[in-house]
Structure 1
Amino acid sequence: MLKKTIYWFIPSQIVIFLITIFKNHTVNLLHYINISFMLGGLFIFFGLTIYVLSSGFFDVTVYSFRRVFKVNGKELSREEVNEMRPFSELVSFNFLPLLLNGILILAIMFICLFIYY
């Protein structure tokens, strides 16, 4: 788990510095704080989204859509709908490295913010 988090963390720090350089033409602590806040927030948002999707929260909704709407012009029987895999099984991406990376980026951003002020 730690290995995957490091594999996400190092490239994200490189991306933060590259965005800071290309956008502002200098590396400034304030610009680093701003960019890292946005990128850390994106990692946390996508990590939490994957967590909610894989937890089974939307399985009932997807099941009801399958029962109500037609697929390829024909209605599905109850057995066919029950044999389909739940939506939470289709989302098999591990959310924890994304979430930990976002938390780590935001922690470093808060440390830099504390140093800045």
Structure 2
Amino acid sequence: MKKKVILFLTLQFLIVIIMLFQYKMLRLIDYINVSFIIGAIVLFIGLATYILSTGFFDIFTVSMRKVFVKSSRLEDVKSMRAPSEIVSIPYLGILQIGGATILMMFIALIFYYL
């Protein structure tokens, strides 16, 4: 939990730094724009990690290996590990941090329109 909070605060600090470099000032609309982009990138990475770890692409990967490899090296293809075995990154924390960043963006958006 402490690690997630530190990563979330680091992301918020990164958003402020990007705002200062890009827009040269701190405005709410700039925070909304930058936090949406950063949050979407983190969510995309988390979702891609989740999809890879579930084994969704394992059959596709094995099939493509069989198609593009000569028949003499077919044993090598069978001994290769599946993508779900290679990706062992815990995706839940990434999704929570990305979701929290998007949630902060929505809260800022509500304040912007009030």
Question: Retained in 2: the 8 A contact 1:40–1:103?
Answer: yes
Question: Retained in 2: the 8 A contact 1:8–1:98?
Answer: no
- Equivalents in 2 of 1:28, 1:110: separation in Å? 15
Q: Which runs of 5+ in 1 are unaligned?
A: none
Give TM-score scaled by structure 1 length.
Answer: 0.87
SS in 2 for 1:76: helix
- Equivalents in 2 of 1:4, 1:97: separation in Å? 9
* RMSD of aligned residue pairs (Cα, Å): 1.6
Question: Retained in 2: the 8 A contact 1:17–1:27?
Answer: yes
SS in 2 for 1:85: coil
- Equivalents in 2 of 1:75, 1:94: separation in Å? 37
Deviations 1:60-100 (A, max 9, x none): 011112222227xx7323x5433332111011111111110
Please show how residues 26-45 of structure 1 align to structure 2 within 5 Å: 26-45=25-44
Structure 1 letter corresponding to 2:10: P
Cross-structure match for 1:75: 72
Cross-structure match for 2:104: 108
Q: Which runs of 5+ in 2 are unaligned?
A: none
